[in-house]
Amino acid sequence: MEDKKTRKKRKLGSYPFASVVFSITVALLVLGLFGWLLLHSSRLGTRIQENIEVQVYLNKNISKADIAKIRTSIASKPYILVKENSQITLITKEEAAKQFVEATGEDFKDFLGDNPLRDLFAVKIKGDYQALDSLNKIKAEIEGIRGVFEVEFEESLIESINENLTKIGFILLGIAIFALLVVIILINNTIKLALFSQRFLIRSMQLVGATSSFIQRPFLFRSMMYGFFAGVLACSIIYGFTMYMNTVIEGLAEIQDVNGFFILFSLILLMGIIV
């Protein structure tokens, strides 16, 4: 009989470990996966934008010295994408003619007798300057450089990319709101179950004069430990998921940012503790 009573005796703040950790892990995992999507979509969008080239056509019969000056002038601009070096590629009119023949199978020299194409620079612009207004200002500025004939970029393509990135942003916002609702529902149910399982003990302590802070303290302390453990589990699952996706999707690892993942995992752990 005594053993039965001992087993029934509960300590304030102690509630089912497995169910609570599972609920919080699922909640943090939902938010973590949203953060994972956000990280990758943002980096992918920037990568797509930075691969768009602006064509800078040069005057005909321009000297190599003038071409070098134009390159230096363009490279000094703050909006030029720089990785190991400035992303500026010179395509001579001979190379452009060769590319045209390979693409179409026709050699216009046969009936024109001359190469009408111009030397050009293919220039990549930073993602922060991909709005049409910014690109038009860049176009006007580069066209003002001596020796530059014309600047062109695919306006319809850039508009399409910017519109699609905006749509993706709204979709991710919707997912974030849904994830937040799921987290609130899961944690709310967890709290209700925890308090319901000890309702008689809490009531007894209230009757003998225990303050609210005294009753809350063991619940909060244990919840913080459970939350931290759930955060570690969620981070481990997301890390494993990332490693798996890197083997399935070629090039995914190239757009991943270690600092971004560090911030994401830190936020998950912090949220697990305070939520």
pLDDT at 232: 92
pLDDT at 110: 59
The residues spanned by each domain of the chain are 2-47+161-274, 53-153
pLDDT at 35: 83
Question: In this predicted model, what pLDDT tens digit does every residue of 111-126 receive, in sequence order?
Answer: 656 667 788 888 888 8
- From residue 186, give the alpha-carbon distance in Å to each of 8, 22, 24, 183, 190: 27, 10, 7, 5, 6
Q: Is the dihedral of CA 56, 59, 61, 62 positive or negative?
A: negative
Question: In this predicted model, what pLDDT tens digit does every residue of 144-161 receive, in sequence order?
Answer: 888 888 888 877 777 777
How far is residue 235's CA from residue 123's CA, in Å, rounded to a whole number? 40
Candidates 86, 81, 76, 90; CA nearest to 49 is: 81
Residue 20 sits at φ, ψ, to 5 deg, of -70, -50
pLDDT at 14: 58
How many other CB atoms sit within 10 Å of the CB of residue 164? 12
pLDDT at 5 over 80: no
Higher pLDDT pick, 197 / 248: 248
pLDDT band for position 84 (cuts 50, 70, 90): low
Kindly report the average pLDDT of the chain as a whole number: 79
Q: 95, 122 in Cβ contact below 8 A?
A: no
pLDDT at 236 over 90: yes
Which residues lie closer than 8 Å to 235 by C-beta, 6 or more apart? 32, 265, 268, 269
CATH topology of domain 53-153: Alpha-Beta Plaits (3.30.70)
What is the pTM assigned to this prediction? 0.59
Question: In this predicted model, what pLDDT tens digit does every residue of 47-77 receive, in sequence order?
Answer: 777 777 888 988 888 888 888 898 888 888 8
pLDDT band for position 246 (cuts 50, 70, 90): confident
